[in-house]
Amino acid sequence: MTTSGSLYGAAAVVGIGTTPYRKRGTAPASALRLTLEAVLAACADAGLDPRSLDGFVSYANDSNEGIAVGSALGVHEIRWSTMVWGGGGGGVAAAVNAAAAAVACGQAEHVVVYRGITEVDDGRGSYGRGHFPPLLHSHGLLTPAQICALRTQRLLEVDGVPRSALEALVRADYAHAQNNPAAVAYGRPLDPAVYADARWISEPLRLYDCSRENDAAAAVVVTSARRARELVERPAFILSGVQGATRGWSESAENETSYTSAGFHPELVRRLWDGAGVKAGEVDVVQVYENFSGPAVAALIDLGLCPPGPEAGRFMTVENLTAPHGRLPINTAGGNIAEGFVHGIGLVLEAVRQIRGTSVNQVPGADLSLLLGGPMAPLVSATLLGSQRTLAGR
C-alpha cells in the first residue's frame, strides 16, 4: 500500500559500525574520534568510500555536528545536516527516519546516522540535559531515572502491570547479552535473586532496571533502495517511520495526558503500522529502548505488542521475550541495559542485524524488525525495518 509521499521501501540501511562499549569515563579518545571510527566502520561494512557520505544526522544534541564529522572525513559535499530536536533517546528512530526522508526525496544519497558519547566530553547525565527546568530540579527531580520512576510507580500501582513484567524484560536483555561478546554484561549473567535484591535507585526502580551510560559511538549508513541493492546483499529496508508527541505530552512538568503511556500515542502507532501495511502481531523482533525497564514495558503496551494491566505479566516472560523461539524476542544484542548504553544507537544496529540474519541471537527468518526509541521521553519515535522479501510480497 505504497502511498504518495510515503517512506515505504524508499531507503535502506546498508552499513553498521560501532566502537567497543567502555565504562563511562574510560574511553581512550574523544567522542568525535569514536564517532569517526564508528562512521568508518559503517562505511566499510557497506563497501562505501566514506568520502561519498553526503548526509549527517544525529539526535539528543550530540556534541559533534554533522559538519564537524563531514569535514573531518573530507567528504566531497555535505548536502544534508540534521539534528532531531528534543526527546533525548526518543529521537533515535527519528534520526533514522530523517535520513530515510533525505534519500527518499533525493536531498542526499548516503546519509550517516550517528551518536557518540564520552563522559570526558559530554559530562555525566548528558542524555537528559536540558529537560530538568527549575520546577523539577528544585524539587529534587534531577534525572530521567526519577521521572521514569514516578511514571513506572503509577504503571504498577494503578494500571496493575506486575513487577514481573519489568523483571522479564531485564532478564531477557541479560540472557541475550550472554551470547554477545561485545556486550558489557557478557559473561555476567543476571541472577534473579541479585536483580530482586539490588540497591534502589529511585523506587520502584532498582539498579538492574536502569541502563548505565557507556563511552562509545555507533553509526549506520542509509541510502536509497536502488543504491542499497548495488551495495549489499541484504539491505534493511525502512518500511515505515514515525516520530511525535501528542497534545499535552511534552514540557508539561509531569502533566502528560496519558501519564503511564510511553508516549507512543494512538495516532502515531496507527501511522507506523499503516505506513508499512502491517499489524502489530506480524512483527518478528523488537529492539525496544530501555532507558529503564518500566518505560520499555509501557512502550510495548502502547504499540499493542503486549496487553495492558495485569495481563502484561502473562505475556512478559523471559521465555516469550528471548530468541530464537520466544513469541516476541526483544533486545537481542542485550539492549541498552546489557549490551551498552549510548543513547540507544546500538539498538539501531541490532534491528538491522536481524534483517541481515547476522545477530548473535538471530530470530529465524526475521523479516520485520521494529525499533522503538526513547519511551517516556518528551518525543518518541519508531522505525519498522523489513527484508527484501517484505517488499517483494506486495
Question: Which positions touch another protein (CB under 8 A)?
Answer: 133-143, 145-146, 149-151, 153-154, 157-158, 198-204, 247-248, 251-255, 259
- For another protein, which is the closer residue by CB, 41 or 166? 166
CB of 191 to another protein, least distance (A): 12
- For another protein, which is the closer residue by CB, 106 or 134? 134
- For another protein, which is the closer residue by CB, 166 or 384? 166
Q: What's the alpha-carbon Rg for the chain, to the nearest Å?
A: 19
CB of 119 to another protein, least distance (A): 15
Pairing between strand 214-224 and 110-117?
antiparallel
Exposure pattern of 226-253 as b/e (b: 16+ CB <10 Å)?
ebbeebbeebbbbbbbbbbbbeebbeee
Phi, psi angle pair for 123, to nearest 5°: 75, 175
> Could you give the CA distance from residue 212 to residue 218 in angstroms, rounded to a whole number?
16
- For another protein, which is the closer residue by CB, 148 or 283? 148
- For another protein, which is the closer residue by CB, 1 or 158? 158
CB of 106 to another protein, least distance (A): 36
Pairing between strand 205-206 and 11-18?
unpaired
- For another protein, which is the closer residue by CB, 296 or 345? 296
CB of 192 to another protein, least distance (A): 15
371: burial class by Cβ within 10 Å (0-12, 13-18, 19+)?
buried
Strands (E), the chain: 11-18, 22-23, 55-59, 80-84, 110-117, 200-202, 205-206, 214-224, 236-244, 285-288, 368-373, 380-386
Cα 177 off chain centre by: 16
* Residue that the C-alpha cell 531507503 belongs to: 11
- For another protein, which is the closer residue by CB, 252 or 358? 252
CB of 4 to another protein, least distance (A): 32
CB of 205 to another protein, least distance (A): 8
CB of 134 to another protein, least distance (A): 4
